[in-house]
């Protein structure tokens, strides 16, 4: 997983001024040449690689976006990890463990991609642990029953795929390459969730009701995952110009709605939106109003599980201190031994 457009400002930044404002006003002659070469590469749909010159604002935007993405992957392990010990069968447990483990891997690729931009893992994790860095708002909601695990796979991973497939064509090479593998794994995540729900929908009336209840609770939050409407999304234009973002928040959201409606029909669930209907003229579905106040409240730390999620990450970091210390001591010992042998 997961994105929420990955362009929400982190805690230390001003919501309206991030992005465009960060572009330097005046460049010296050498920088102007480098900037021109960079612009030409972007215009030709080329890739930018770690050691190449890039505008500071481009670097800063990528560090924010890729680190938010990495944080989302590892925080995203928590709502589902919570169900590993309670999965209803060995088969479901195996699938869920594999999925949660994939998310850890996604976090690691993404931290590595962000490190190529000159930021350290410790800096990124410190920003997460002190509450400065954002992660996807979707993980601040609880997974109340087993159907939630299926719905998270179907809808949350489904929304993540919509968002992440265009990132495979992102202008920054390491981010784009990481996304290719991530998207393949997300596809498995989405299918396992959908298949788990299909089985439940062939079960008892109580199981069917559980699925419908989970869909009701997650649907609107998944639509909000695509980020604020284009008109209120200050970073989008610059992200598009730089080839980081390829499709706008509203267009991605529309694609997700149009893809999900027929899947809901096959599954036999109702999507909880009375305004959801096919619009013949637009050849797309109309849908109702998203509660953006709730979205921003959750992004800004006041969702139902924000404190729990952050607390779990900080505890894991503190509990792992002895492992980091032991690994460092071992590496130092090895180094000393090698130096002694070489002397
Ligand atoms: Fe993921
Ligand atoms: Fe996933």
Task: Check whether the bond before 334 is cis (ω within 30° of 0).
Answer: no
> 170 burial class (0-12, 13-18, 19+ CB within 10 angstroms)?
buried
Over residues 157-173, mean pLDDT? 95
Counting ligands in written order, which one lies closest to the CA of residue 159?
2
pLDDT of residue 19: 41
Specify the DSSP element, H or E, that contains 185: helix 173-201
Counting ligands in written order, which one lies closest to the CA of residue 153?
2
Please, what is the Cα angle at 53 between 60 and 68, to 5 degrees?
A: 25
Over residues 178-197, mean pLDDT? 96
Residue 259, pLDDT > 60, answer yes
pLDDT in tens, 190-238: 999 999 999 999 999 999 999 999 999 999 999 999 999 998 887 788 8
pLDDT of residue 21: 40
Per cent of the chain over pLDDT 90 is 87
- pLDDT bracket for residue 14 (50, 70, 90): very low
Enter the pTM of the model: 0.90
pLDDT of residue 9: 63
- pLDDT bracket for residue 8 (50, 70, 90): low
CB-CB neighbours of 159 under 10 Å: 31
Q: How far is the CA of 74 from the centre of ligand 2 (A)?
A: 10
Q: Which residues are placed with Cβ below 5 angstroms of ligand 1, an ion?
A: 1, 73, 103, 106
Counting ligands in written order, which one lies closest to the CA of residue 107?
1
pLDDT in tens, 23-50: 455 678 888 899 999 999 999 999 999 9
Q: Which of 71, 80, 152 lies closest to 107, judged by CA?
A: 71
- pLDDT bracket for residue 18 (50, 70, 90): very low
pLDDT in tens, 53-108: 999 999 999 999 999 999 999 999 999 999 999 999 999 999 999 999 999 999 99
Counting ligands in written order, which one lies closest to the CA of residue 69?
1
Task: Report the length, in residues, of the chain.
Answer: 343
């Amino acid at each position: 997983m997961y994105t929420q457009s990955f362009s929400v400002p982190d805690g230390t930044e001003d919501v309206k001024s991030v992005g465009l404002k960060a572009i330097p006003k005046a460049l010296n002659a050498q920088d102007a040449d480098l900037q021109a070469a960079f612009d030409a590469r972007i215009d030709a749909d080329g890739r930018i690689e770690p050691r190449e010159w890039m505008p500071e604002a481009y670097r800063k935007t990528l560090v924010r976006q890729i680190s938010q993405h990495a944080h989302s992957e590892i925080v995203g392990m928590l709502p589902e990890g919570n169900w590993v010990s309670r999965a209803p069968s060995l088969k479901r447990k195996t699938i869920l463990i594999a999925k949660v483990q994939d998310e850890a891997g996604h976090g690691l690729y993404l931290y590595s991609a962000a490190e190529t931009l000159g930021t350290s893992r410790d800096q990124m994790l410190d920003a997460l642990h002190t509450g400065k860095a954002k992660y996807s708002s979707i993980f601040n909601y609880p997974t109340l029953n087993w159907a939630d695990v299926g719905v998270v796979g179907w809808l949350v991973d489904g929304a993540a795929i919509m968002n992440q497939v265009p990132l495979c064509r992102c202008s920054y090479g390491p981010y784009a390459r990481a996304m290719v593998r991530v998207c393949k794994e997300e596809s498995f995540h989405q299918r396992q969730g959908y298949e788990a729900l299909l089985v439940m929908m062939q079960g008892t009336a109580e199981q069917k009701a559980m699925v419908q209840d989970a869909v009701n609770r997650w649907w609107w939050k998944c639509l909000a995952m695509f980020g604020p409407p284009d008109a209120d999304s200050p970073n989008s234009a610059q992200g598009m110009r730089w080839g980081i973002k390829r499709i706008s928040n509203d267009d991605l959201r529309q694609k997700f709605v149009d893809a999900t409606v027929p899947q809901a029909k096959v599954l036999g669930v109702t999507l909880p939106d009375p305004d959801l209907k096919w619009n013949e003229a637009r050849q797309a579905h109309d849908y109702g109003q998203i509660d953006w106040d709730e979205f921003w409240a959750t992004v800004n730390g006041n969702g139902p599980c924000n404190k729990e999620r952050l607390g779990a990450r900080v505890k894991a970091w503190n509990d792992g201190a002895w492992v980091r210390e032991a690994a460092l001591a071992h590496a130092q010992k090895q180094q000393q031994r090698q130096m002694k042998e070489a002397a």
